[in-house]
Amino acid sequence: MGRALSMRQRRLLDDVLPRLAVPEGGSLNPNRLFHAAREVRLEIGFGTGEHLAHQVLAHPDIGFIGCEPFIAGVAALLARLGPSPPRNVLVYPDDARTLLARTRPGAFAAIVLLFPDPWPKLRHRKRRFINRTSLDLVAAALAPGGWFHVATDDPDYAVHILAEVPRHGAFAWAAESAAAWRRPSDAGPLSRCEVKARAAGRPAIYLAFRRQFSP
């Protein structure tokens, strides 16, 4: 059972989340949600928000949308951002695939998926985010030349990602050497999942894919 929310987290959910929530219903043009942003990026499953909060604060000229279906994670992000959060972040407290399905094509300059649940049991692998259906949504929402960053500490899932994403046809793996696997795409703080992986002796694997231009 998850830890109960604190009174501060509950207040943030009541007072701040409505101001940061992505508008419901209809098609979505993220660029119209951030009038001063030079581009918009999406983080899928931001967990407790370490990475997303850092990016939001480090890049005020970029708009960020974070998706996280677990309310405790949303509350943790809001606690990091405080009662007066920056204007360059919005939150979608639900499944990212629902948001992607209503997003205008080519809207995101980058989409980030950090340490998704690997669903290691064979009978559960159909639940993995990396599959043909989800990749169709990611490909449609990414601008040509945009980036799809994925990180995992599960070697089997890394093999699965490296098989499924290039096979899709819309993405090109950008690694030029083995060292690229060991470097994150930015210098932000370690997420809770990454800290746990390192403590357990599981090295993280960082994969970067470029959205190919249509012929």
Residue 187's Cβ-count burial label (10 Å; 0-12, 13-18, 19+) is: exposed
Q: E-assigned strands of 31-98?
A: 39-44, 62-67, 89-92
Active site annotation includes 117: yes
User: What are the Cα distances from residue 205, in Å, to 66, 135, 153, 162, 195?
Assistant: 22, 19, 6, 11, 13
Q: Is 147 helix (H, G, I), strand (E, B) or coil?
A: strand
Q: Give yes or no for a contact between 158 and 202, defined as CB atoms under 8 angstroms apart.
A: no
Closest by Cα among 191, 19, 13 to 90: 19
Helix (H) or strand (E) holding 149, with range, is: strand 142-152
Q: Which of 117, 136, 153, 154 is catalytic?
A: 117
Pairing of strands 89-92, 108-114: unpaired
Q: Which residues are catalytic?
A: 117
